[in-house]
Structure 1
Amino acid sequence: MKTKYIKLNPSQLLVLVFLFFIILGTLLLKLPISTTTPISLTDALFTVTSAMTVTGLAVVDTGTVFTTFGQLVILMLIQVGGLGIMSFAVLIFIMLGKKIGFKERLIIQQSLNQTSLGGVIKLVKNLFIYSFSIEIIAMLILAIRWVPEYGWGKGMYYSFFHSISAFNNAGFSIWSDSLMKYVGDPLINLVITFLFIIGGIGFTVLSDIWYKRSFKKLSLHSKLMIGGTFMINLLAMIIVFSLEYSNPNTLGTLSSLSDKLWASYFQAVTTRTAGFNTLDIGSLHEATITFMLLLMFVGAGSASTGGGIKLTTFLVIVFSVLTFLKGKSQITIGNRAIKDKVIVRSLAISTISLLFIFLAVFLLNITEPEPFLKILFEVISAFGTVGLSMGITADLSDIGKIIIVFIMFLGKLGPLTLAFSLATKLEQEKIRYPSEDILTG
């Protein structure tokens, strides 16, 4: 009698491994040693998913509800989720001296959003070197501020926790008000934002910078990520500062111009999937919230710790529209032509994402008695694995929490990965059909 084995494609295996860690983490957080007071299964599942997807949305206060053991479980999930499950698998294989086969490389390629198999193992090795080095250095710098304030034990632990949470764009904080008490602190603002900007720019870009060390020699992807990140962050800071300057509940409460600038800068860049906040999000003007929705939807970079449709996806669509408006047929960026499959992939990612966001908002408007804008903000924050909230997360019903859990899961793995995991078989086209025009617009 022959035994039949279920063959899984890389996307399916990635989804199953991710689900396994979420279930394992949920069971760990349900242990009495993990919490100061018992939490429901739904809240444990929500917290674990938020940590694994490095989102940062929380239904309970991380600093008071979870014990040190529970917080370390969350931190472990953040690190695994941020750097990638398969990346840790590769690390273990390397340490054991085992060979990494073709199938494993395919899964790594899928998990890190790489276009080719070449150099994926080298990328993973660099990923760990960069990540651990940056986290340790940042922890030591944060300790300069927090050890004098909280003592050696708590000061070092808080520095350790926030360093990992920030680099992985998780947004989890020991304090219930996130980093609002440090709104004007230059050291905290610079270190935390440096961590999540570096983490969100993508490991491919970091590796490219390390080896080429010249902007001109960088790949087009790296140039787009660096230039795009700088421009969007600068524009976002100007807009937040302008819109919130006179708001009596946000920037208006800050006395000095420097505090207003630090707060504007922090809120501008944190929407790129970081999740920390130094201002009360629920008190921002609706115009500011609306602008943040776009930033959260776009998100960070490919092969990064962040979520969203990714900055390069957004830029490809923008350049496609500009090319159409100019009446040109070939889409070019920096004297490089963009392949049709990249454009189609970008459109597919954006369209599937918008459809899932619409569905989630539609369902939450049925199950939750909350204003439309707050629900929309919560959903896009979950999809972009941002973790910012207008204050409705803890008040969601169990059904609402499950919907947000799915959206966080989708946002982390990516809509195409989830779609490919549901596909029975992916086949190459063998037949070419004649083309014909249809009326659009």
Structure 2
Amino acid sequence: MARKRSFNSAQILVLIFISFIILGTVLLKCPFSTKVSISWLDALFTSTSAMTVTGLNVVDPIHTYTILGTTIIMLLIQFGGLGIMTFAVLIYLLMGKRISIKQRLIIQEELNQSTLGGLIKLVKRLFIFSIFFEGFLGLLLSIRFIPDLGLEKGLYYSLFHAVSAFNNAGFSLWTNNLTGYVGDPIVNVVISALFIIGGIGFTVMNDIWEHKRWRQFSLHTKLMLLGTLIINIIAFIIILSLEHDNPGTLGTLHGTDKYWAAYFQAAAPRTAGFNSVDIGALKPPTLFFIMILMFIGAGSISTGGGIKLTTFISLLVIMFGYIRRKNEAVIMERTIPDSAIFKGLTVALLSIAIIFVAIFSLLMSERTFSFIQIAFEVVSAFGTVGLSTGITPDLSSFGQCVIAFMMIIGKLGPLTLVLSLTDRDKQRVRYPKGEIFIS
């Protein structure tokens, strides 16, 4: 008798995610969503970009999609940022139904949790965080947008950009993104606050909510808060130094506008794809530095992508620990478990390998673009950042498919996709140790 096929939690998560991308594609292709005719590939790319909270576009959203179309994009961003299963849990709870073990396992996979305990509580708070920050900071944005756009349009733009920013999507309803507000304090502070908060991760928010004191925070929370602060300061200094005399970016800005632009473009690459300067006009060293920020990414269990900041910090701790002849990875008087080290190394190496394959593929198919442009586009897609030098609409159909696939990998994580293709239940066999020489 044939054995009944059962899917593991990683496989179910991937299937659900792909299903929503397909649903979004169909909705965006419908006449009520568009102002002009678009291809199925255009609709698929936009749906993928929204569900993966990336923000790369092959068409201009505001000139291509109707209000209903941009609302569908906003909903896809919300589903992709907070997680499909979290919405399913909310519906189940509202209906008074119990959450099964299998459903909890899928939620555990989606939220990257080590245990099943406290999952439902975390999901509930996740919604509270989302509603509060998107609602409150969205209202602050309306203070700036309503005088420029009118009441209804100003409120809609405020809500759309608040949702896009908190979920680290980078979608904007302006053709030139946020370059029109390059020196505006309200827009710079509110938008950056939204994507930084969304990027530090829901477990960090939950930890701050429960403990409120630095000494009581978990190691993960401390690393995320300190790491985010330090890397943003370093990025600000480097970008300001590299671009201060570039006439295409900061060189023509005066007064505080130059510092606002440097700050915003320093904070955005690890999380959201918003830009207040022309990315295509950045110097090659700046583009390369931003690629590093995009690869590092945001925090675990956040709306951002990349290999995650704590993974990057762990790898640094391992490296410096080995140089200092230490047998364990120790930071802040805490030892990082071997399982976390192996997972971090696996994620980093898988990510590098996937990025190399994607760059190689595009170098063969997209002969009109430079290496730095293609590499930047690939890393941006993998990091679900959404920044672009402007080549996205001009990519071939094959190139757009590669970028779309990279966005999916970046959102779900290379490890989740690999685990969805493997059987975790195979019997573990221990073999004798063997020695290899590494220099």
Q: Same fold per TM (> 0.5)?
A: yes
Query: Which residues of 2 match residues 243-392 of structure 1 at below 5 A?
Result: 243-256=242-255, 258-369=256-367, 370-392=369-391
Structure-2 residue corresponding to 1:99: 98
Shift of 1:64: 0.7
Which residue number corresponds to residue 7 of structure 1? Answer: 6
The answer as to whether partners of 2:196 and 2:271 remain within 8 angstroms in 1 is no
* Unmatched tracts of structure 1, length 5 or more: none
Partner of residue 432, structure 1 = 430
Contact 1:254–1:260 under 8 Å retained in 2: yes
Secondary structure (helix, strand or coil) at the match of 1:251 reads: coil
Q: Could you tell me whether the CA contact under 8 Å between 2:270 and 2:293 is conserved in 1?
A: yes
AA paired with 2:345? Answer: L
Q: With structure 2 as the length reference, what TM-score do the two structures score?
A: 0.98
Deviation at 1:333, TM superposition (A): 1.2
User: Which residue of 2 is the match for residue 24 of structure 1?
Assistant: 23
Amino acid at match of 2:21: I
Q: Give the superposition deviation at 1:272.
A: 1.1
Is the Cα contact below 8 Å between 1:361 and 1:375 reproduced in 2? yes
Aligned twin of 1:221: 220
Distance 2:83 2:365 in 1: 33
Residue 68 of structure 1 aligns with which residue?
Answer: 67
Flag structure 2 segments of 5+ consecutive residues without an equivalent: none
What amino acid sits opposite 1:93 in the alignment?
Y
Distance 1:92 1:134 in 2: 21
Quote the residue 1:112 is aligned against: 111
Q: Distance in 2 between matches of 1:87 and 1:382?
A: 24
Residue 397 of structure 2 corresponds to residue 398 of structure 1: yes
In structure 2, the CA distance between the partners of 1:4 and 1:437, relative to structure 1 (3 Å rule), is: closer
**Cα pair 2:265 2:275 within 8 Å, conserved:** yes
Q: CA deviation at 1:5?
A: 4.1
Give the CA deviation at 1:440: 1.1
For residues 435 and 345 of structure 1, what CA distance do their matches in structure 2 show? 21
Distance 1:337 1:26, change over 3 A: same
Whether 1:234 aligns to 2:233 is yes
Match of 1:136 in 2: 135
C-alpha deviation, 1:16, in angstroms = 0.2
Letter of the aligned partner of 2:365 in structure 1? T
Please give the per-residue CA displacement for 1:163-210, whole angstroms capped at 9, x wherever unaligned. 000000000000010000100000000000000000000000000001
CA–CA separation in structure 1 for the residues paired with 2:262 and 2:145: 23
Q: Contact (CA 8 Å) 2:168, 2:303: kept in 1 or not?
A: yes
TM-score by structure 1 length? 0.98
Equivalent in the alignment of 2:187: 188
How far, CA to CA, are the matches of 1:303 and 1:7 in structure 2? 26
SS of residue matched to 2:251: helix
Matches within 5 A, 1:27-46: 27-46=26-45
Paired residues in the alignment total 438
Identity of aligned residues (%): 55
CA RMSD of superposed structures (Å): 1.0
Q: 1:199 aligns to what?
A: 198
- SS of the residue aligned with 2:50? helix
Residue aligning to 2:420: 421
Provide the residue aligned with 2:176 in structure 1: 177
CA distance, structure 1, for counterparts of residue 8 and residue 400 of structure 2: 29
**Which residue identity lines up with residue 228 of structure 1 in the other structure?**
G
Q: Which amino acid in the other structure matches residue 340 of structure 1? A: D
Q: Distance in 1 between matches of 2:331 and 2:83?
A: 30
Asked if the contact 1:55/1:273 (under 8 Å) is kept, the reply is no
CA distance in 2, matches of 1:81, 1:330: 37
Question: For 1:425 and 1:328, how far apart are their aligned partners in 2?
Answer: 32
SS at match of 1:7: coil
Q: Which one-letter code corresponds to 2:149 in the other structure?
A: Y
Are the aligned partners of 2:167 and 2:195 in contact in 1 as well (CA < 8 Å)?
yes
Q: Distance in 2 between matches of 1:265 and 1:307?
A: 20
Secondary structure of residue in 2 paired with 1:193: helix
